[in-house]
Chain A
Amino acid sequence: MRQSEMLSPNLPGSAMGLAFRVGVEMVAGVAVGTGIGYALDYWLGTGPWLMIVFFFLGAAGGMMNVYRAAMGQGMAVGYRKPADDAEDGRRDETEREG
């Protein structure tokens, strides 16, 4: 028996695992963006502007991570195309079902 079949999203554990992953991802993006913007503002003395810009960039980054996780693309940054994953695409399948 393969492990991934044991841990398919039909099991409550794995679907919950995906949910936990996705929930935090969004907040983390915003937090990191705002934090970097704030630090750059503090360093460059550019008022609130960089923080505002990086807040939105961070939010977009967080949403991108959520989208990737939900579409079963793992957490790949700069994801290319699904065909690349053909040989190890099992996980992608199991995640897409969830």
Chain B
Amino acid sequence: MASPVEQFKLKPLVPIEIGGVDLSFTNSALFMALAVAAVAVFLIQSMRGRHLVPNRWQSMAELSYEFIANMVRENVGSDGRPYFPFIFALFMFILLGNLLGMVPYSYTFTSQIIVTFALAITVFIGVTLVAIVRHGVHFLTFFFPAGAPIYMAPLLIPIEILSYLSRPVSLSVRLFANMMAGHTMMKVFGGFVVALGVFGVAPMVVLVALTGFEILVAVLQAYVFTILTCIYLRDALHLHH
């Protein structure tokens, strides 16, 4: 029987090698492309009608738009509006990646730490640049809590810098660990069903519940990733001054 972690294996579909670097088009890349295509088709196709009273597809598209628009407005404030397209794209990409992974025989690209880390480091560097551009040298006061006595600075500043640097790590590990653990667990229970024969009904029941739970986690993790991006962006824009 296949090992529970075999589903995470990268398989090159179109081997490409440029200058000794392996740039193969893998199953992970295929599902990333599929996620982008699915988002584009979903949004363009459902908004084609432009009904005043939206039909089902259009209201789904409007709902997802308003969901992120409200999230940005409430967590970042009105000056977060220029960043809305990025945050919306980020949310839809992660959401579709997580949900496509729930389709049998598909590949969950968000279960790869390098993918989630690339997303998180993009957010981290982007947010830091926004803070530096907006506040200049003032950005450095970010690392010293106001009201703390000055002789605490040698201790507090390294702690604050480390706590700042741990952001991309916690952001990426959270998404990756949730997706990987969930999918491994589903595969393990799937193995039980086959191995136990008639008594496989018991793990089967668990598996059904687990599948529902995994869909919840898929949506929730996309939401958590996005709302944390909003919170980081708000910190960068306002700096609490």
Chain A residues with a Cβ under 8 A of chain B: 2-4, 7, 13, 16-17, 20-21, 24-25, 27-29, 31-33, 36, 54, 57-58, 60-62, 64-65, 74-81, 84-85, 87-88, 90-91
Contacts and interface: CB of A to CB of B under 8 A. Distances in A.
Given A4-B70, A29-B162, A88-B75, A75 B231 contact: yes
Contacts of A85: 240
Contacts of A79: 145, 240
Range for the number of chain B residues in contact with chain A:
35 or more
B166 A77 contact: no
Given A27-B173, A88-B74, A17 B223 contact: yes
A2 B170 CA distance: 28
Contacts of A74: 231, 234-235
Tell me the dominant secondary structure on chain A's binding face.
helix
A52 B206 CA distance: 44
Interface string B155-176: 0001111111111011001100
9 A-B pairs closest in CB distance: A61-B163, A28-B170, A3-B70, A61-B162, A80-B240, A28-B169, A32-B166, A24-B174, A28-B166
A60 B159 contact: yes
Contacts of A57: 158-159, 162
Most chain B beta carbons < 10 A, residue from A4, A36, A88: A88
Of B142, B163, B223, B228, the most chain A CB neighbours within 10 A belong to: B163
Contact of A25 (B146, B159, B170, B219): B170
B144 interface: yes
A62 B166 contact: yes
24 contacts: A2-B74, A3-B66, A3-B67, A13-B223, A17-B223, A21-B224, A24-B170, A28-B173, A29-B170, A36-B165, A57-B158, A57-B159, A58-B162, A60-B159, A74-B234, A75-B231, A76-B235, A78-B141, A78-B145, A80-B145, A80-B146, A80-B147, A85-B240, A91-B231
Given A13-B216, A29-B166, A62-B166, A78 B223 contact: no
Given A17-B220, A17-B223, A91-B74, A61 B166 contact: yes
A16 B223 CA distance: 11
